[in-house]
Structure formats: C-alpha cells, structure tokens
Amino acid sequence: MTTKATQYIARGVLLLTTCSLVLDAEAQCVMCKAVAEDSAAAGAVGRGINQGILYIMAVPYILLGVFGYLVVKKWKLAE
C-alpha cells in the first residue's frame, strides 16, 4: 500500500470512530441536562451539575490539544 492510501484509511477509521463516540456522548448529556433541570429548583445543585458537565466536556479537548501539540513538535524535530 502506498503512504497516501494508508493515510486515507487511517483518516476514515478515525472519522468513523469519532462519529460513533459522539452519538453515545450526546445521549449522556441529555440525561445530565434533565437531572440538572429537575434539581435547579432546589438551588445551587443544578449549577453544580452544569459546571461538572462543562468540566467533563473540556478535558478530552485539552488532552487532544496536548497530544496534537506533541505530535506536531515531534514532526518538526524530525525534519
């Protein structure tokens, strides 16, 4: 296989994996939102759950950014 073909296959697998994970995550967020809306009348509990959702949502993006930075840095050093 050529390098370009391998890259296309890898990108396709990554895209399919990402799409399948997004569907599962979306279902969980709806459940968290329902709990937050029900407990919002009680006061600060709803705000705490919403902050927790934002924290959980931000961690994968931060990890992905760090991983991407390290990969780019490694490629630059290899050149």
Instruction: Name the region of 43 (left: φ>0; alpha: ψ -120 to 50; beta: rest).
Output: left
**Which of 68, 62, 57 shows the shortest CA–CA distance to 14?**
68
pLDDT in tens, 31-68: 766 776 676 666 656 666 667 777 888 889 999 999 99
Sign, CA dihedral 57-58-62-63, equals negative
Position 68 scores a pLDDT of 93
The whole-model pTM stands at 0.43
Position 72 scores a pLDDT of 92
Tokens at residue 70, please?
């390290």
Position 46 scores a pLDDT of 60
C-alpha distances in Å from residue 55, one per residue of 29, 63, 71, 73:
12, 13, 25, 27
